[in-house]
Structure 1
Amino acid sequence: MNLYERFLAQDMRALARAITLVESGYAEGQALLRQLRGRGHARVVGLTGSPGAGKSTLTDRLIEEARKRDERVAVLAVDPSSPFTGGAILGDRIRMMRHHQDKNVYIRSLASRGALGGLAGATVASLALLEAFGFDRIFVETVGVGQSEVDIARVADTTVLILTPAAGDAVQAFKAGVMEIADVFVVNKFDLPGGERIVQELKTTLELAAPRPAGWKPPVLTAVAPKAEGIPELFEAMEAHYQHLQKHNLLEADRLERARFEIESVIQEWGRRKTREGQELIARVAHGDLTPEEAAMQLLGVLEGTRT
């Protein structure tokens, strides 16, 4: 059987191979994606927060909760890439290894590959493959730095922001504008000092925030992931938000925004490749012989005097 047939036959190795081909940008991967895109429909949950917030441990517990409900679960853990080598740590799977023998759980690390917001277009393409494979729920865990929180809201149906007490997380959330995009807030490590304070800060700020689509009011929950405390409540909140999207016909808009993000990511990646090839033009910009716009138009193959 070819890769497409093996994929449809639920061969996990075929799924892994398909994601690798898509992530690496091979034509074979794009052809396979074209055949499979649009199959299946999963609940996509974005999990984001600052490093050390306990995202991976929380994800591990959410996998457990989903399996109790007989859901097939996939996880995409997006790791930061080095801006110098392009390499990534890809270490999140270590914390979720207890699920590795469960055939209804698939965990994959992806490199951000220098994407400006921490999410690469390959992440969305991989989501399409996981949906086509028949997973019911897909968790996307982001690096939690830069603008990745904002990007994940464009990709996920439900965005969960994970904060911790006594780490200045609330202040950072307010500054970064993440308050406007998170659908569910959870204060993890709630057993540490300062837990009640950050919950009250979040609730007060949300009362002053702009109204959400169709009147959704983001809940503020608490959890202690290693002890599995607060996990069922968090899962129910995620489900309530998804039901809200269904009731108000907002899911189609989510899908369109996800496609828009994927196209923009492809354009960004193409532009980065072009700049690596155009050293002479870059030198001319540095010396003042060309404006950045003129150089960009030449790199993109736009004829002089035209605009697209």
Structure 2
Amino acid sequence: MHELVERLLKGDKRAAARAITHIENDTQEKKEILKDIHPHTGRAYLVGLTGSPGAGKSSLTDRLISLLRKMGKTVGIIAVDPTSPFTGGAILGDRVRMGKHALDPGVFIRSMGTRGSLGGLAKATREAVRVLDAFGSDVIFIETVGVGQSELDIMHVADTTVVVLHPSAGDHIQSMKAGIMEIADIFVVNKADLPGADKTVQAVNHMLDLVHDFEFRPPVLKVASRDNMGIKELWCECERHLAFLKESGRLANKRQKQRQDEILSIIDAEIGRKIKSLIQADPKWATTLSDVEEGRTDPYEVADIVLRRLLKV
């Protein structure tokens, strides 16, 4: 694994792909890889793109890749897709809309199946981002699965969250604002060459007008990926938001919070594994379940007993 990490740090695409595969499959080598790359992370700018299906997230990402490559920046993409019920892989694993970048040495594209995870991301997304960061990507785009307004996990991973809407979303803004609409740093009305774009922009701005305590008011941009309209403006707003995060100290605080969440998530997963192992090895577990079913004890009391045994408190 040390040799694999050395190749990854030198920009070897195959090594990066293998490292992410270890992470997705939760192999024994995963911890060693993540430990070795940790000192080389924290340099990339993380941009999340979320929104409902059909909003054009992949096409938008494709245009941003082209722009950034012209600027000389290296780009990583983690695209989270629905999971195939037959193979367990990402249904749109070929990333058709980004195919022209596949052979570009400065671009790394990886599709990940959700594998049952909710919130728009796969369980391994955060760790895969670490790999692309260590790999040397200047900018990493994280595209969520596209399941609706519950995709809120992206705000805990990305530095800047871009919510992508389509022109017909104008009538639904009010119903959406309790969920995905509240996590945006930038709003993009994509396919702005279609009717309804101005109405959607107006609806989003009206929603934002109801909030008066913005330190950074999310801009609302009209973009047409097909015509490359508004792509430069979108990237300028991303850079403006990043500058705001750095100058205000929010970037450091945000990343510290992300590290804390990551550590707690790891602890939670490890405790879960140990508890399952403890239960499976306990010959009295079947009796305990019977006691719960027959009312001699309750699930909360059993859970407390198991936790005390595990944590020895």
Instruction: Give the alignment's TM-score, normalised by structure 1.
Output: 0.86
What's the counterpart of residue 39 of structure 2?
38
- Percent same amino acid at aligned positions? 46
What's the counterpart of residue 236 of structure 2?
236
Q: 3-state SS of the aligned residue for 2:30?
A: helix
Q: 2:178 aligns with which of 175, 179, 187?
A: 175
Alignment-mate amino acid for residue 170 of structure 1: I
Q: 1:59-101: CA deviations, max 9, x gaps?
A: 1011111111110000000123368985541436121000011
Q: 3-state SS of the aligned residue for 1:140?
A: strand
Query: 2: distance between equivalents of 1:24 and 1:62?
Result: 30
Query: 1: distance between equivalents of 2:39 and 2:72?
Result: 23
What are the equivalent positions in structure 2 for 1:15-34 lying under 5 Å apart? 15-34=16-35
Return 262-271 or 121-130, whichever deviates more.
262-271
Q: 1:93-113: CA deviations, max 9, x gaps?
A: 121000011100000011223
Kindly tell me: are residues 134 and 169 of structure 1, through their superposed partners in 2, closer, same or farther at Cα, counting changes over 3 Å?
Answer: farther
Query: 2: distance between equivalents of 1:140 and 1:219?
Result: 20
C-alpha contact 2:10 2:135 (8 A) present in aligned 1: no
Higher RCO (Cα < 8 Å, 6 or more apart): 1
C-alpha contact 2:84 2:90 (8 A) present in aligned 1: yes
Alignment-mate amino acid for residue 58 of structure 1: L
Query: 2: distance between equivalents of 1:138 and 1:288?
Result: 54
Kindly tell me: are residues 52 and 284 of structure 1, through their superposed partners in 2, closer, same or farther at Cα, counting changes over 3 Å?
Answer: farther
What's the counterpart of residue 210 of structure 2?
208
Kindly tell me: are residues 32 and 306 of structure 1, through their superposed partners in 2, closer, same or farther at Cα, counting changes over 3 Å?
Answer: closer
What's the counterpart of residue 6 of structure 1?
7
State the Cα distance separating 1:250 from its structure 2 match.
1.3
Gaps of 5+ in 2: none
Q: 1:23-80: CA deviations, max 9, x gaps?
A: 2112212111111113140110000000111100111011111111110000000123
Alignment-mate amino acid for residue 221 of structure 2: L
Gaps of 5+ in 1: none
Kindly tell me: are residues 94 and 267 of structure 1, through their superposed partners in 2, closer, same or farther at Cα, counting changes over 3 Å?
Answer: farther
Alignment-mate amino acid for residue 246 of structure 2: Q
Kindly tell me: are residues 157 and 305 of structure 1, through their superposed partners in 2, closer, same or farther at Cα, counting changes over 3 Å?
Answer: closer
What's the counterpart of residue 128 of structure 2?
126
C-alpha contact 1:83 1:114 (8 A) present in aligned 2: no
Asked if 1:254 is matched to 2:254, the reply is: yes
Q: 3-state SS of the aligned residue for 2:78?
A: strand
State the Cα distance separating 1:210 from its structure 2 match.
5.1
C-alpha contact 1:60 1:96 (8 A) present in aligned 2: yes
Query: 2: distance between equivalents of 1:198 and 1:292?
Result: 49
What's the counterpart of residue 303 of structure 1?
308
What's the counterpart of residue 219 of structure 1?
219
State the Cα distance separating 1:236 from its structure 2 match.
0.6
Query: 2: distance between equivalents of 1:74 and 1:202?
Result: 30
